[in-house]
Amino acid sequence: MPWSWRYESTDGQAVSGPAETFGSQSDAESWIGQAWRDLAAAGVTSVVLLEDDRVEYKMSLLPAAE
């Protein structure tokens, strides 16, 4: 089953981003580990990891509050 990322803005609305698909969860997570800075610079504030249409988890790309 393919894995992919959904990209969201601060208000939770979908935003466009790379239409990458991955063969495994670890491949998807490795990719986001390298791409998150570019995504954040483009206005993506959170990403949702999907396996087909099932949500695995949501993750913020914003810096942690200090």
Low-confidence ranges of the chain (pLDDT < 70): 66
Q: What is the pTM of this model?
A: 0.90
**Which residues have C-beta within 8 Å of that of residue 57, sequence separation ≥ 6?**
48, 49
Beta bridge partners of 54: 51
State how far the Cα of 36 lies from the Cα of 31, in Å rounded to an integer: 8
Predicted local confidence at residue 1, as pLDDT: 84
pLDDT 10s digits, 23-38? 999 999 999 999 999 9
Predicted local confidence at residue 63, as pLDDT: 84
